[in-house]
Amino acid sequence: MAIAKAERLMNLALCLLGTRRPLSKRELRESIEAYLEAGNDDSFSRMFERDKDDLRELGLVIETVENLDGEVGYLARRDSNRLPPITLDAEEAAALGLAAKVWQQARLAGAASGALQKLRAAGLPEDVDPYEAHSALEPRIPVHEAAFEPLMLACRDRRPVVFDYRKATAAHPGTRNVEPWALECWRGHWYLAGWDRDRGAERVFRLSRITGKVRSRGTAFTAPVPDVVTVRETVASWAGEVADRSALIRLRPGSGYPLRAKATAVRELGDGWDELEIPYGHGLDAWLVEFGPDVVVLEPAELRADVVDRLRAVAKD
C-alpha cells in the first residue's frame, strides 16, 4: 500500500511539473492510472485532495488557477519548485565523504554513494573528491545484528516494535513491546533507546541480546519522544562508568579483561585468583554477573548481595 501511494504521488507530481498549462481534475484522472481505478467520482476526489495536500506538505508548490475553459486547474511551475544551488567547501565535502564511508559495511552503502553522486551533479566542486580527502581516515561502524535495519526504520517511521530480548541475568528471553526512539553505537556495541510499554518506562536495549525477528506494530506512539535521548550516558551509568566508589573483587587469571582494563589496582594472590579494585557505580552488579564463576565480589556488602540475588534468579530459570 505504501509503495502504491508513493508511485501515485510521484505520477501526480510529474504531471503537475510537466504541464505548461493548468490541468483540471478530469485531465489528471485520465492521465494517472491509479485515479482511473479509484471507483466513483467521490472516491477519486477524496484521493486527489489527500494527494494534493501530501505533496504540498512535502514542499511542492501547487498553484490553483482557472484554465481556458473556465475549469479549476492545477500546475506546479518549475521555477517555483527549484532548489537553490548547493555549494560545499573542501571541508564540508570531506565530511560528507567520511560519513558515506562509515556505512560501507551496511545496506545503506548504496544510498550513501548515490547521495554523493547527486551532490556532485548539483554543484560539488570538481576538484574535490570526498572519498580521497583525508584518506588516512577509515571510519567504520560494523553492523552485525540482524535487528539493526528494522529498528533503524522503526525509529525513522515512529513505529512501535515487538522483539524477544535476553537480559544479562536471565537464562531465557522475554518479549518486549517498545516504542523505539534512537540507535547509538557505544564501544563497539549498538543500543536502542525507547519506551517500554509493559514497564511504562524508558529503557535501553543492547542489539546483540535481541533474539529472533523484530516485528512491527501498526499503532501510534503512546509516550512523547524526548528532544534528547542520552543512550551513551545511560549505558555508561549501567556499566559502572559513572562511579563514585570502589569495589573489591576477585578475578581468575586470564579472564575478565574488560574488568582488568577498568581496575585502579591489581594484586596477584597466588591461589588461582587476582584481587582487583574497580570503580563502583550503578549497574556494576549486572555487569559482574556476566563473568559468572570467574568473579567473586568481596566488598561492598550491598554489591555482593545484589550479584548473589541476580545469580540466584538465573539459577531458578
Residue-by-residue pLDDT tens, the chain, 317 positions: 445 788 888 889 988 988 888 888 888 998 888 888 877 888 888 899 999 988 988 888 999 887 666 788 898 988 888 766 666 676 776 676 666 665 555 555 555 566 666 666 555 555 545 445 445 445 555 567 888 889 988 988 889 999 999 876 667 889 999 999 988 877 667 889 899 999 998 888 989 889 989 998 878 898 888 887 777 777 766 555 556 788 999 999 988 888 888 889 999 988 889 999 988 876 677 778 888 889 999 998 988 988 888 788 777 65
The per-residue pLDDT for 131 is 47
Residue 150 C-alpha from the chain's centroid: 9
> Grid coordinates representing 145?
545484528
Q: Which residue range forms the structural domain that includes residue 190?
A: 148-232
> Grid coordinates representing 228?
534528547
The per-residue pLDDT for 248 is 94
Query: Does 210 lie in the same domain as 158?
Result: yes
CB-based contact 301:179 (threshold 8 Å): no
What is the reported pTM?
A: 0.47
Task: Work out how many domains the chain is built from and give that number.
Answer: 4
Query: Does 256 lie in the same domain as 190?
Result: no
Query: Does 135 lie in the same domain as 113?
Result: yes
Which CATH number characterizes residue 9's domain?
1.10.10.10
Query: Does 59 lie in the same domain as 93?
Result: no
Query: Does 223 lie in the same domain as 156?
Result: yes
Last residue of a domain, one of 178, 206, 232: 232
Neighbour tally for 18: CB within 10 Å: 12
Neighbour tally for 303: CB within 10 Å: 20
Strand order in the sheet with 63-66: 23-24, 72-75, 63-66
Last residue of a domain, one of 54, 80, 106: 80
Query: Does 116 lie in the same domain as 168?
Result: no
Last residue of a domain, one of 210, 232, 254: 232
Spell 270-279 as b/e; 16+ CB within 10 A means b: eeebbbbbbb
Query: Does 171 lie in the same domain as 225?
Result: yes
Q: Which residue from 290, 284, 315 is spatially nearest to 302, judged by alpha carbons?
A: 284
Neighbour tally for 87: CB within 10 Å: 10
Hunting for cell 466513483 — which residue is that?
40
